[in-house]
Structure 1
Amino acid sequence: MDIQNIFVLTGAGISAESGLGTFRDRGGVWSRFDPMKLATPEAFAADPVVVHDFYNMRRRDAMKAEPNPAHAALARLEAELTARGGRLFLCTQNVDDLHERAGSREVVHIHGELLKARCTACGAVQAWREDLSVETPCPSCGTRGSMRPDVVWFGEMPKHLDAIEDALLKSDLFVAIGTSGAVYPAAGYAAQAREFAIPTLALNLEAADNAGMFAKTRLGPASETVPAFLADILAGGDGAG
């Protein structure tokens, strides 16, 4: 099978083996913290100190984490497809930078990036690795109290939707890795791929909420299933083994 353009959607499951928690699984982040008090514009307006503390903790955890073999395999797949004249469109729901640190060159963050900060006063976005607080001045306009993580909170519009839709419709294969299948619009991409007769494959630790939308599924840790997927693609298979 000649697969040239692959659309890969990754979720928290791919970073779990790097020590970063998932969100909706038993024991996940949202089972321990109330997202309505930490991950909404209203929560930030009501108590920015608490929200900053939560995201400062997550930013420090993300910077300490290291990419795992699943991240490395996707970086290699990108390079191999590019060399063939194809493309890997890597869309991640994750706000960490593990894909980039593993070597992936083009990563689309549908939910934003934890290592960036945005000013609500002037709209400027900055690379950011330090803690944020209500006293942090915006490097662009100098306003204090306006800096926030450049992540998508509940109730906000995901990023890059037009580019994602365009890449999905041009793909030869849709692959979801480590996703819960519960967060939209990303959870709807498998159904959209099927609508356009694009083969679908899920690589998950356990079946996702939208498992019925996938033609094929491989269950297991991402550090095992993703390198196996890569090997199968490079051997001329369809990635399902």
Structure 2
Amino acid sequence: MKRLENHVALVTGGGRGIGKAIATRLYQEGAKVAICGTTPEVLDAAAREIGPDVLALVCDVSQADQVEATVRRIRERFGKVDILVNNAAVMLRHVSLERAARPFTELEEEVWDRVMAVNVKGPWLCARAVFPDMQAQHWGRIINIASDTVFIGRGNGAQYITSKAAVIGLTRALACEVGRHGITVNAISPGLTQSETIREHGFEAMAKQLAEQSAIPRPEVPEDLVGAAAWLASDDAAFVTGQTICVDGGLVLH
């Protein structure tokens, strides 16, 4: 049985890694799927791989006009958006490892502002844009992608950790506002997931170290997150909202 038939999902940052894996699973569960990101060729390739009729749209989620235009195009194609996965985020690939991993005293204001614009403002803009569809049908699912760095804490990268803590705060605040409309809002908190970005920057040693500290001692891959996302998007999780679920093999016991 496909749990998400008659639903339409937008997955931001859906061209790679976690976003692509989640978009694939939602499609397999019967949802019509749109993915967005900032690299057209990556999006087009992902859409072809996920399946027929997947809509790929270029969108910088930190820009309100682009978010609104993206949602309009999805409505024109599929009629609505009632599942939103806020996955798009600025991490390493976008600002370079050296700049992203500086101590907080050496961070550039430009880097801080860019991370906050995409990682925090973006989910708010996307939720705001799709809310009318969810409200109208008294059903909706918003799934935000947070990070276990919020619970672990570590030196350097303060802008990223802070932004993901804000995502958890946004999750809780939105859940309280929209629950009466039949909309749930939850967050998934991954560990260090072996996406293209992580592999490109040579995090094998860190991944191995974290795996050794986990209850399930192996590196995390994007496909480890898709079950939780599909469940949260379905009616099986209709009474679950405002929660942050750590999907990390037991690295964080939260």
- Sort the TM-score into its range (normalised by shorter chain): 0.3 to 0.5
Higher strand share: 1
Q: TM-score, normalised by structure 1?
A: 0.42
TM-score (norm 2): 0.40
